[in-house]
Amino acid sequence: MAFARKVWKLLVAIKDGLALLFLLLFFGLLYAGLTMRPNAGQVRKGALLLRLDGAIVEEPSATDPIEQLLSRQASAGEYRSRDIVRALRLAAKDDRIKAVVFDLSRFTGAGAVHLQDIGAAMDRVREAKKPVLTYATLYNDDGVQLAAHASEIWVNPLGGAFVQGPGGNRLFYGGLLEKLKITAHVFRVGTYKSAVEPFIRNDLSPASREASQALYGALWEDWKRDVARARPKADIALVSGDPVGWLKAAGGDTARAAQSAGLVDRLGDEVDFGNRVARLVGEDKSDPGPGHFVHTSLRNWLAANRPEKAGRAIGVITVAGDIVDGDAGPGTAGGDRIAKLLDDAQDKNFAALVVRVDSPGGSITGSERIRAAIMRYKAKRIPIVVSMANLAASGGYWVSTPADRIFAEKGTITGSIGVFAIIPTFEKALSQWGVTTDGVKLTPLSGQPDVISGLSPEISGVLQANVEHSYAHFLGLVGQSRGKTPEQVDTIGQGRVWDGDTARRNGLVDAFGGLDAALTYAAKAAKLKSWHPVYLGESDDQWAALFRRLGGGDDSASQGSARDFAGAVAERRMAILGQALAGAERLAGTRGIQAYCLECPMQSLSGNVRKNVLQGDLAKWVRAAQLPGVR
């Protein structure tokens, strides 16, 4: 009996402890929820501070609140490019903002189109006679391009700035699969459809090398042109052409070398930089300390400047990330999710629809699901306009075909009109271990496709015919959209990717311009004098903001990976490992026929996967990528 009483007391103590824990958690969440929502009263006369702790993207990926709450470190942030551009344009006209400050200490990059759009907005601030200052320990290519538009570029004396240029090596698994006796059955159409080459070759094919050189060459020229226009004194030729000689001339001091080449203006740590900003905008009296200056965060600034909603509504649907079947996203373009967003908004009586695409493609069934939903709007006889961001390739171009007009930027990667399918089989590997198969087959397709015994000639023929049919259908969609015959489209198809400038010349794109240009054209086509955009699927997710806040995210400083050159090398190592895992996912995890572009491997990863690779959290990456057989 005494033993039973002790057990009962233990159970009661556990119950009371759990109740107390959940009560504390509840009140903690309640307090954070009440204090997290920004308001106009939090705008302070001083600097607009953009602390970019992560990547700039078209559409931030969904936040997993439970994982965010339980994780021991804040996840890398994602910042919508359009939000940053709007914040800068507002800052240029608002007398409360005396300067704009970018903290790029943990900035992980952005697409070329986003960098150019933000750079143009920074130029507007400077034209309004307001200084724009940036600070970082290490500037890489994206950081250099962004900072080039600043009036003052600061770097930590222990850091520097480097220019690597586009391109690099890609992983090939042909030799590995041969050693493992794994057969990768590839079904494709398109001489330049390089997405399958890593599984059947040990190097780039001549056609793929030709296409990649042309694409990266065009992007490199655009990058150099943008930086030279914003910062004429920067010696890009020296930094990129003779990096060893450039560093040796500065005695190996990377910060001094960056300053001598005109990539940065001033050297100093965070306190030195903060003191400089404080002299421009004033010290922060509410939080006194070295290097503290009065400022308003990006989140508070946007909350205090809600967009106006005058006139008729123009719908904007975003197709960002890999196109997949199902409800995935945001940050991944789930075909069912996006189609539902479009169908649910049918009763909003939009005057026009703008489709914003930033995707390397993916599943053709997911792509077709989105295209069909857009066509239901086209049936209402309203203008359909496509605005291409960094990527609108393969499936990303498939969903663009309903457009009356397509806008892109010179730095846009598009085209890649081609399809493929991959099925790995293991009959050779298993036979070495004495594993064989046998059975009864009543037709040539019985039990096929069989990844254990191998594919029969009949199923291989069926799959190849299906892929060829899908390619013909793709050509037909593009031809109907662009006023070309399938044969004409085939000459610019074959899986080849194009930069935006070339795509305009070969007829895949109508005009240059960003999202603003597409919206303006849509309004004019709809004969609107007053209008406002409605972004489908976007909401002020307060719970996501709450968990970001609890995790140390948002605008507060958070612990991250080292941002000096050695830290960047380590980060690149993790990215390469992530690329290898992505290759395994494409081989073993791909379902169905794909319209997918491989030229930008990091951008092609879904938002959550890309964040985890950049953070170096491989366990989390594996979970996010859902690799078959890996838990």
Rounded Cα distance, 146 and 143, in Å: 5
> Taking a C-beta distance cutoff of 8 angstroms, is the pair 55, 110 a contact?
yes
Distance, in Å, from the CA atom of 594 to the CA atom of 361, rounded to the nearest integer, reads 8
The angle formed by the CA atoms of residues 530, 535 and 538, to the nearest 5 degrees, is 145
Picking from 174, 103, 176, the residue whose alpha carbon sits closest to that of residue 134 is: 103
User: Mapping DSSP to helix (H, G, I), strand (E, B) and coil, where does residue 565 land?
Assistant: helix
Task: Judge contact between 548 and 540, C-beta under 8 A.
Answer: no
Go through 6-34 and write b for each residue having 16 or more CB atoms within 10 A of its CB, e for each that does not: eeeeeeeeeeeeeeeeeeeeeeeeeeeee
Report H helices in 231-305. Answer: 236-241, 243-249, 254-260, 270-281, 298-303
The two structure tokens encoding residue 514: 């960003």
- Report residue 325: phi and psi, to 5°: -80, 145
Bridge-based pairing of strands 384-393 and 352-359 is parallel
Sequence letter at residue 394:
S
Positions annotated as catalytic residues are 193, 394
The span from the CA of 358 to the CA of 335, in Å, is: 14
Closest CA to 135 of 557, 573, 569: 557
**How many C-beta neighbours within 10 Å does residue 443 have?**
8
- Rounded Cα gap, residues 628 and 631, in angstroms: 8
- Cβ burial of 66 (10 Å; 0-12, 13-18, 19+) is exposed
Q: Omega before 449 cis (within 30°)?
A: yes
Virtual CA dihedral for 550, 552, 556, 560, nearest 10 degrees? Answer: -170
Using alpha carbons only, give the angle 542, 555, 337 rounded to the nearest 5 degrees: 40
Residue position matching structure tokens 């078959």: 628
- Kindly give, in sequence order, each residue whose CB lies less than 8 Å from that of residue 551, ignoring residues fewer than 6 positions away: 68, 69, 71, 73, 74, 75
476 is written with which tokens? 């037909």
Cα-Cα-Cα-Cα dihedral of 525, 402, 212, 236, to 10°?
20
Contacts of residue 487, Cβ cutoff 8 Å, sequence gap at least 6? none
d(CA 278, CA 291): 7
